[in-house]
Amino acid sequence: MLQRALHNLDRRLRTAGESAAAHPDWKDRAAAIRRETLLDLDGWLDRLEHSLVARGVHVHRASTPADARRVVVELAQARGARTVVKSKSMATEEIDLGNALEDAGLTSVETDLGEYIVQLAGERPSHMITPAIHKTLPQIRDVLAKEAGTDLAVDREALTAWARDRLRGEFLRADIGITGVNFAAADTGTLVLVTNEGNGRFCTTLPRVHIAVMPVEKVIPRLADAGILLPLLTTHATGQALSNYVTMISGPRRAGEVDGPDELHVVFLDNRRRTLLGTRYEEMLACIRCGACLNVCPVYRNVSGHAYDSVYSGPMGKVLTPLLSGGTEGADLPYGSTLCHACSDACPVKIPLGDMILALRADVPDPHSGARRRRRIFWTVWARAWSTPSGYRLTTALGRVSRGRVPGLQAWTSTRELPRPARESFRDRWAKEHA
């Protein structure tokens, strides 16, 4: 399934290769803008805060995910909110905000179609841009039909129409809209949000309060820089010259306006990002979350996003996860790489992901050195067994009998499929046909 979906994506991305933003010069300009930002991240953040406050926006600084969750939950509780609508955002996934809101007794609804499906299925997104990429249409039907309580056709239009109606109701009911931020311009105090479905527009138009969670590196010096970065982001994310909707928000609803939120809050989320400044991983903060490195990664393409067991997957996840957790999470991820550097080549802002993955192997100790020893023992035994014909026959016969259900492998098979052994070995068939 993932293979087929990625193939569809490949086709679209290839045709997008003709657009201006795919030009190498464009990448150079974008890479330069991102690095200029990182040279004085704190300075740009101060300027951004100043511009936002001047526009009547409330700014909250959160150094840990727990701080960010507390800010949002307290804002919601103080306003007596009951329902929250969310637009897809990696930052809110990173701080696990949905669960925090539910724990505080609020209903939190994901409104991006893919994310909504994943939420109903009780799963986690498997791709940054298309969270339900691992699901087939019949599987999606099953998830939605269960929620609808009626049967639904396995038809793209019909399923979309059902979800549209259901989520419309949620938008109208919601007290608070929560979004991420793609870019935030320090000079004008403008939040830039990119979506295709329009759910982000609903979240920032109908509820009375809008809260945006913004990882600190999203700041850009000037709003004009968005003219370079936006086409680059969307070309590399979905192959579109520009995403369908780009919303530039400069403050809450103004006097006389009939829609838009009365209150706008922005939460600056640090979560160890600023500790990366000045280290060899600083450039990771240039990431614009386009997903290009995932799509080209041979490992990601085979194991899919869930196998990483972290919010950020693929090559950028291998680098970001151990860094943001201080090495307590995803320390083994840098080892799950072929070091082919396809990610470094694909990255539109020229982050040397391959080099960072290699460097992390040295900087973050592998938590699985015990497992590595066990693996070595396994391979030694295997090599012995398969160097004799009788040992080979015995083990493959065992494999056929067990039909691939090997005890002790659940940790592996919960997110990946084990290849099924053939019903009959080639040797047996040969013997039968030539008897």
Partner 1 sequence: MIDVFVAGLRANSCTVSGPMNTDEARATVVERASAHLLVACNDDVPLPALVDGLRQRGVEVLTPGDPAWAERLADAEVGITGARLAVAQPSAIALAAAPGAPRSTSLVPSVHICVVRVDDLLPTLADAMIGVAAGEMPSALTWIGGPSRTGDLEMITTLGVHGPRAVEIVLLD
| CB of 387 vs partner 1, minimal distance in Å | 45
Q: Shortest CA distance to 84 belongs to which of 146, 12, 171?
A: 171
What does the block give as tokens for 156? 């793209």
Q: 88, 135, 289, 318: which one contacts ligand SF4 (CB under 6 A)?
A: 289
Q: Identify the DSSP state of 273.
A: G
Binding segment (CB under 6 A) for ligand SF4, from list 175-183, 282-290, 390-398, 417-425: 282-290
Q: Which residue in 347, 356, 357, 360 binds ligand SF4 (CB under 6 A)? A: 347
Distance (Å, whole) CA 11 – CA 9: 5
Backbone φ, ψ for residue 185 (5° rounding): -85, 120
Is residue 231 involved in binding partner 1 (CB under 8 A)? yes
Pairing relationship of beta strands 58-62 and 183-185 according to DSSP bridges: unpaired
Contacted entry of partner 1, ligand SF4, none for residue 347, CB cut-off 5 to 8 Å set by kind: ligand SF4
Nearest approach, Cβ of residue 196 and ligand SF4 (Å) = 17
DSSP state of 275: G
Alpha carbon distance 270, 219 (integer Å): 12
Phi, psi at residue 191, to the nearest 5°?
A: -95, 130
Q: Which two tokens stand for residue 170?
A: 């949620």
Residue 221 CA to residue 413 CA, distance in Å, equals 46
Site for ligand SF4 in 120-179 (CB under 6 A): none
291 binds ligand SF4 (CB under 6 A): yes
From the list 48, 106, 174, 351, which residue makes contact with ligand SF4 (rule: CB under 6 A)? Answer: 351
Least distance CB 233 / ligand SF4 (angstroms): 8
Instruction: Compute the least distance from the CB of residue 4 to partner 1, in Å.
Output: 7
Residues contacting residue 356 through CB under 8 Å, at least 6 positions apart: 280, 281, 283, 284, 319
Contact present, 340 and 355 (Cβ < 8 Å): no
Question: Judged by CB, which is closer to partner 1: 48, or 163?
Answer: 163
In the complex, the smallest distance separating the C-beta of residue 110 from partner 1, rounded to whole angstroms, is: 11
Sign of CA dihedral 68, 307, 125, 81: negative
CB of 296 to partner 1, least distance (A): 16
- CA distances in angstroms from 172 to 72, 83, 117, 247, 256, listed in the order given: 20, 10, 20, 20, 21
**In the set 293, 299, 324, 331, which binds ligand SF4 (CB under 6 A)?**
293
Question: Least distance from C-beta 349 to ligand SF4, angstroms?
Answer: 5
251 binds, among partner 1, ligand SF4, none (CB under 5 to 8 A by kind): partner 1
The structure tokens listed for 118 are 């994943």
Task: Please give the radius of gyration of the chain, using alpha carbons only, rounded to the nearest integer.
Answer: 24
- From residue 318 to residue 357, the character string flagging contacts with partner 1 as x (rule: CB under 8 A) and all else as - is ----------------------------------------
Member of 14, 20, 374, 422 binding partner 1 (CB under 8 A): 20
The reply to whether 156 sits near partner 1 by the rule CB under 8 A is yes
Q: Is 356 in the site for ligand SF4 (CB under 6 A)?
A: no
Return the number of the residue (118 or 347) whose C-beta is nearest ligand SF4: 347
Q: Which is nearer to ligand SF4, 49 or 217 (CB)?
A: 217
| β-strand pairing of 83-86 with 107-110 | parallel
Residue 276 neighbours by CB under 8 Å, 6+ apart: 282, 284, 285, 323
**Segment interacting with ligand SF4 (CB under 6 A) among 140-148, 159-167, 269-277, 291-299:** 291-299
| Contacting partner 1 within 250-279 (CB under 8 A) | 250-260
Tell me how far apart the alpha carbons of residues 30 and 232 are, in angstroms, rounded to a whole number.
8
For partner 1, the closer of residues 32 and 340 by Cβ is 32
Residues that bind ligand SF4 (CB under 6 A): 287-293, 316, 346-349, 351, 353
